[in-house]
Structure 1
Amino acid sequence: MNNILLYGPISDKVSGGYERMNDNILKSFYSNEEINIIAFPIKKVKLKGVIKSILYPLIFIMSIIEDSIKLISYRKKYKVNTIHITSLYKIFIIRELIIILLSKMIGIKVVFDIRAGRFIYYYNHKIYGHFCKVALKSADKVLVEGITYKEFLKKEGYDSIYFPNCIINGFNYYQNINKKRKNNRVKFIYVGRVVKEKGIEDAIKLLYEVKERFNIQLEFAIIGEVSSEYKEYISRTYNYAEEIIRFEGYKNLEEIKEYLLNSDFFMFLSTWLGEGHSNSINEVMATGTPIFYYDNGFTRDVIGNDDFMLDINNYEDNINKISEIIFNKEIRNKEKDRLKERVLNNFSQKNLVDILVNVYKI
């Protein structure tokens, strides 16, 4: 049995992209007869404000000591031979590098997995960049979530393996089900964190303008937890568009599937600097829901169709593109089939397992 430590953000209640992907890895190898994945979660800090600012440095140092002790214990207890580090980099690269170097000292091979965020920025950072480079040089294998990172690291002299976010079993049985329709409205949807950086306001402004100019009946369902402050801000600032906005709140995966199957388009106009390969995009693609998106993070590479890409700097072109696609049933149907095929061929659970089985043969 090949025992692998999975080190990084791990949670029983999956909340973010890191947790979701690590949860997918654990589930995908749960009954594997050759590879045993052992969860090695990093310490999470729930403190906020001034208290966090005061105590966090001490907590961070203690987490390094605790994780180092656990690593040595896991090595002895489970005869671990490989550690898979899902890197958070930023300041966390200090802790990750210590774990990498300690692993090498006690005979554990290292898989350094760069996931999402602003890795190139931190790689070029005058302080954190040094830690990033030593981590890359020390690792036995390097994984990257996006093609952009792979190309960047190649120029810097590092070999890497493309390991995108993948969707595990659960959406597959929706592949051959046709979209449901309850009325003649064009239904747009967003699922995820409801914050400004995810393009909620851009979507509202664009969709309202499309509705007004082209006399199209549409609605925009926003799914996800939203603070009362931000919801009130949206209602106050965009009160002219309140007839199209529907805040649906938090929904579980099964409920989200139903929403997607009853929707025509997904709006993903994220400008978040930490955007990578969104897990939500995989799930949307699996249900065949066409996605309007900005070229941010790895989204363009993941979706693979510029026909639905919007330009953050060209409001008028975006309005025209959305309206043209709404009226073009052939393009919509073609995109639905293409997305389903793309996610199954490139971002499925089989892809996840196949890649990691080869990676763990160090």
Structure 2
Amino acid sequence: MKESHNSDTIIFYAPVGNLTKGFKSGGAEAGCRKTIEVLRKNGYEVLLVEKPAKKSDSKLDQVILFAQLFKIWIRLIFYFVKNKNYRFHVAGFYLNQIVFEWFFIKTANLFGVKTVYEIRNGGMIEAYESRGKFYQYFMRSTLLSSSMVLCQGYDYVVFLNEKFNKSSVYYPNYIMDDFVGPNNLKRGQDQVLRLIYFGRVVPDKNVDFTIDVCHKLKQLGFQINLDIIGSYEDEYYTLLSNRAADYGIKNEVIFHGRMDFKDIYKYLQLAHFFVFPSKEKREGHSNSLTEAMGCGVVPITSTAGFNESIVNDPKLVVHEYDPALYAAAIAEIWNNKTWESFSDKVYQRVLSNYVEKVVEKSLLSGYDLLRIKQ
């Protein structure tokens, strides 16, 4: 039985998907839910304070968002007054949120509450270096005012140490232990080349490009199948469907819509390649990428976010958005009969670095250190 840490109740400020539905709820929300689950499994009480979602850039929606954040601030003060031994964990998204996150962290400091600032998503370094002194002040102050900083990407750990002499904890995305199963290498003997994309089906994830890759593979003489799993808007679905039809591969491209992960898992056990040409500016540590690798699905990815360091193999990363290059990378692995080797390699990498039992040690040791410093 896990040790109880209920005396160290955690106030967790983060998005978990309750306020964002369908295609708008993605990896960030899933990652926050997993953190909460790990903390609770290890005896912590977690009080969720959900980060509000802005519906649009209209003045009315901005006023509504500000009112929601003010109510959250009052709620936080109530918690801080109630017990200064509470821990305050902020899932940080900086950029346009940094002033609010700074204000919440500083309020916790005022009441003597220990704080954890978790840097999520990609683009933090670029944002700090490209934005003005106003932004840099609030970012720097937030980081230096936090009792502990968690970094989704290892690049952030290095940056914080070199730029601010601030120690931090590497806390990448991961898959839960009960998700891990044996790697089905027999699928490497299939005649049909099975590709998969799952996650948010939105333009920033470049899913239409994935269909272009399938077209190139078909031109190279491969029998192909592409499963696209995830929520989408009707307009983007129409674009994707029409593109597949124009290429003459409408029957080979199958849209499944949103699925529970237990159902996605079945498709991952059959897939050979996870095509992930994301061009999202704030791509971080993709949950889908880690989950695919954890099922032995060989990823062929763009350089977005932390993809290169997660995959850790230059043959699986394509530096240009050219479908012919993606198709060539897949064809080389398949034709050289090295798919099983790559499948085992990415599977083992996840088991060694990105599973709950490995990553939770960093999170829990950080929280234990906060208890000692109390």
TM-score (norm 2): 0.87
Q: Which residue number corresponds to residue 88 of structure 2?
A: 83
2:10 to 1, 4, 18: 4
1:352 to 339, 348, 359: 359
2:63 to 55, 58, 73: 58
Q: Which residue number corresponds to residue 228 of structure 2?
A: 222
Q: Contact 1:311 / 1:318 at 8 angstroms: preserved in 2?
A: no
Which residue identity does 2:114 align to in structure 1? K
- Per-residue CA deviation, residues 320-361 of structure 1 (Å, 9 max, x unaligned), is 2221112232x2111222222211221111133211111112
In structure 2, distance between residues paired with 1:19 and 1:271? 19
2:164 is the counterpart of 1:170: no
Identity level (%): 28
Structural mapping, 1:138-287, within 5 Å? 138-157=145-164, 158-172=166-180, 174-178=181-185, 184-213=191-220, 215-238=221-244, 239-240=246-247, 241-287=249-295
- Per-residue CA deviation, residues 78-115 of structure 1 (Å, 9 max, x unaligned), is 55432111101122111111100000000111111100
Cα deviation for residue 191 of structure 1 reads: 0.3
2:120 is the counterpart of 1:111: no
- Pair 1:79–1:90, CA change in 2 (3 A): same
Which residue identity does 2:269 align to in structure 1? L
In structure 2, distance between residues paired with 1:206 and 1:32? 44
2:196 partner SS: strand
Q: Which residue number corresponds to residue 77 of structure 2?
A: 72
Cα deviation for residue 42 of structure 1 reads: 1.9
The Cα RMSD (Å) is 2.3
User: Which runs of 5 or more residues in structure 1 are unaligned?
Assistant: none
- Pair 1:181–1:316, CA change in 2 (3 A): closer
1:24 partner SS: helix
Cα deviation for residue 294 of structure 1 reads: 0.9
Cα deviation for residue 165 of structure 1 reads: 0.7
2:259 partner SS: coil
2:35 is the counterpart of 1:28: no
Q: Which residue number corresponds to residue 305 of structure 1?
A: 313
User: Which runs of 5 or more residues in structure 2 are unaligned?
Assistant: 1-6
Which residue identity does 2:72 align to in structure 1? D
Q: Which residue number corresponds to residue 29 of structure 2?
A: 19
Cα deviation for residue 316 of structure 1 reads: 4.4
1:94 to 99, 110, 114: 99
Q: Contact 2:52 / 2:69 at 8 angstroms: preserved in 1?
A: no
- Per-residue CA deviation, residues 5-24 of structure 1 (Å, 9 max, x unaligned), is 21111345893222211111
In structure 2, distance between residues paired with 1:230 and 1:64? 32
Q: Contact 2:153 / 2:170 at 8 angstroms: preserved in 1?
A: yes
Q: Contact 1:179 / 1:262 at 8 angstroms: preserved in 2?
A: no
2:327 is the counterpart of 1:322: no
Aligned length: 354
Cα deviation for residue 209 of structure 1 reads: 1.4
In structure 2, distance between residues paired with 1:69 and 1:80? 18
Q: Which residue number corresponds to residue 4 of structure 2?
A: none
Cα deviation for residue 271 of structure 1 reads: 0.7
Which residue identity does 2:151 align to in structure 1? V
Which residue identity does 1:43 align to in structure 2? P
In structure 1, distance between residues paired with 2:350 and 2:234? 35
Which residue identity does 1:92 align to in structure 2? Q
In structure 2, distance between residues paired with 1:190 and 1:56? 33
Q: Which residue number corresponds to residue 3 of structure 2?
A: none
Cα deviation for residue 155 of structure 1 reads: 2.8
Cα deviation for residue 317 of structure 1 reads: 3.9
Q: Which residue number corresponds to residue 296 of structure 1?
A: 304
Q: Which residue number corresponds to residue 120 of structure 1?
A: 125
Q: Which residue number corresponds to residue 49 of structure 2?
A: 40
Cα deviation for residue 154 of structure 1 reads: 2.7
